[in-house]
């Protein structure tokens, strides 16, 4: 078997075009485009490059953008005050705070302060809790990108075995919840998992989000499995590869994502899709995401169990 190599760039272009249309509908209804603010504290070069990439795609789809560049010495109180001001700003529908923050600033403070309704990175405890409870939620974009690939390729998930390598708060854990919502049987492996291939060989869908070159080789993959490679590893001589040994795995899998050109190109687009979702929920007054206490309709929550 030679695997279908999934074209993340083509899929990204498709979703971008849909997003552009959606922004158009929003402007027709609301009279102005949704607004996205990226907060960048200090001079982390990678975050700066990443911010610019998001801003460029946002402008292409018609989302209004603003970069709030703060000096590295910004105090916790100043950052918190800015976030509170953005929470209350009717011109701002989505907020991203770029990580890593300078050491004296706490990621937890940021996650606790951003209004869940505007938390388009899905980092706040309320967003994570909503996802955990199968309530409407803004989603971490990389995990959402993996789901978008699976959905667009019509990969069956109900009753299938999904194995995730990596349990981070931004990829592995939220993805496990999203796959559970699609009725897959989900296994999450991590740095303490022994005999990784015992699990990976069971997978109909195998997702790796670890960051280790050649972690997944052909002998670990069930014939016909769909393999999604989230990992990004910089090579010493330049260039990037994923976690999957593509040359061997493509002989066994039915479909797989390359690196670069797989999950990566979808991540920023899914982030902006979250911004659009946030804008619609706010426009329709559905700010339930922030309501206190969370009202849970247990009948709705249990229908997936």
Residues that bind ligand NAD (CB under 6 A): 142, 165-168, 170-172, 189-191, 193, 196, 209-211, 230-232, 263-264, 267
Q: Between 226 and 263, whose beta carbon lies closer to ligand NAD?
A: 263
Two structure tokens written together for 128 = 């994570």
d(CA 119, CA 124): 7
- Which structure tokens are listed for 197? 């291939």
Name residue 64's beta-bridge partners: 35
How far is the C-alpha of 174 from the C-alpha of 177, rounded, in Å?
A: 5
- List Cα–Cα distances, 231 to 31, 33, 77, 120, 257, in angstroms: 40, 33, 35, 22, 11
Tokens found for residue 223: 């014939």
The residue (of 40 and 206) whose beta carbon lies closer to ligand NAD is: 206
Minimum Å gap between C-beta 100 and ligand NAD is 11
Residue 289 per-residue DSSP state:
G
In whole angstroms, how close is the CB of 23 to ligand NAD at the nearest point?
22
Tokens 């190599």 label which residue?
Answer: 5
Taking the complex as a whole, how short is the minimal distance between the CB of residue 235 and ligand NAD, in angstroms? 13
**Which CB, 12 or 231, lies closer to ligand NAD?**
231
Shortest distance, CB of residue 103 to ligand NAD, whole angstroms?
A: 18
CB of 290 to ligand NAD, least distance (A): 26
Using Cβ positions, the residue closest to ligand NAD within the complex turns out to be 211
Q: How far is the CB of 19 from ligand NAD (least distance, A)?
A: 17
The answer to whether 250 and 5 have CB atoms below 8 angstroms apart is yes
Kindly state the greatest CA–CA separation across the chain: 57
**How does 78-109 read in b/e, with b if 16+ C-beta sit within 10 Å?**
ebbebbeebbeeeebbbbbbbeebeeebeeeb
Nearer to ligand NAD, 155 or 230 (CB): 230
Report yes or no: 189 and 196 within 8 Å, Cβ to Cβ.
yes
Minimum CB distance to ligand NAD smaller for 240 or for 247: 240
Least Å distance, CB 51 to ligand NAD, is 14
Q: CB-wise, 82 or 149, nearer to ligand NAD?
A: 149
Q: Could you tell me which of 57, 19, 54 has the C-alpha nearest to residue 40? A: 54
What is the crossing angle of helices 264-283 and 8-30, to 10°? 20
Task: Give the separation between CA 274 and CA 139, rounded to whole angstroms.
Answer: 7
Q: Which is nearer to ligand NAD, 245 or 282 (CB)?
A: 245
Shortest distance, position 215 Cβ to ligand NAD, whole Å: 6
Structure tokens at 149: 């690939």
Q: Which is nearer to ligand NAD, 61 or 210 (CB)?
A: 210
Backbone angles phi, psi at 256, to 5 degrees: -155, 155
CB 231 within 8 A of CB 264: no
């Amino acid at each position: 078997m030679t695997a279908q190599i999934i074209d993340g760039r083509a899929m990204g272009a498709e979703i971008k075009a849909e997003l552009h249309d959606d922004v158009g509908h929003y402007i027709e209804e609301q009279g102005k485009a949704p607004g996205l603010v990226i907060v960048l504290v200090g001079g982390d070069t990678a975050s700066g490059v990443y911010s610019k990439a998001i801003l460029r795609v946002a402008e292409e789809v018609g989302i209004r953008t603003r970069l709030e560049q703060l000096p590295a010495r910004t105090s916790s109180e100043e950052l918190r005050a800015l976030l509170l001001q953005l929470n209350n700003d009717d011109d701002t529908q989505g907020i991203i705070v770029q990580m890593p923050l300078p050491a004296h600033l706490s990621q937890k403070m940021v996650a606790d302060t951003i209004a869940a309704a505007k938390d388009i990175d899905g980092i706040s405890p309320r967003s994570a809790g909503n996802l955990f409870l199968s309530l409407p939620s803004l989603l971490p974009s990389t995990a959402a990108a993996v789901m978008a690939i699976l959905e667009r390729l019509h990969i069956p998930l109900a009753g299938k075995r999904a194995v995730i390598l990596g349990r981070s708060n931004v990829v592995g854990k939220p993805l496990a919840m999203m796959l559970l919502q699609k009725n897959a049987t989900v296994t999450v492996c991590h740095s303490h998992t022994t005999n990784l291939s015992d699990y990976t060989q069971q997978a109909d869908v195998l997702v790796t989000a670890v960051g280790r070159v050649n972690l997944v080789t052909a002998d670990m993959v069930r014939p016909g499995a769909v393999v999604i490679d989230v990992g990004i590893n910089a090579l010493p001589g330049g260039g990037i590869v994923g976690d999957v040994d593509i040359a061997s795995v493509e002989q066994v899998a039915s479909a797989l994502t390359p690196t670069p050109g797989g999950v990566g190109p979808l991540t920023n687009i899914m982030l902006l899709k979250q911004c659009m979702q946030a804008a619609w929920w706010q426009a329709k007054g559905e700010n339930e995401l922030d309501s206190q206490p969370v009202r849970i309709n247990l009948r709705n929550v249990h229908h997936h169990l």
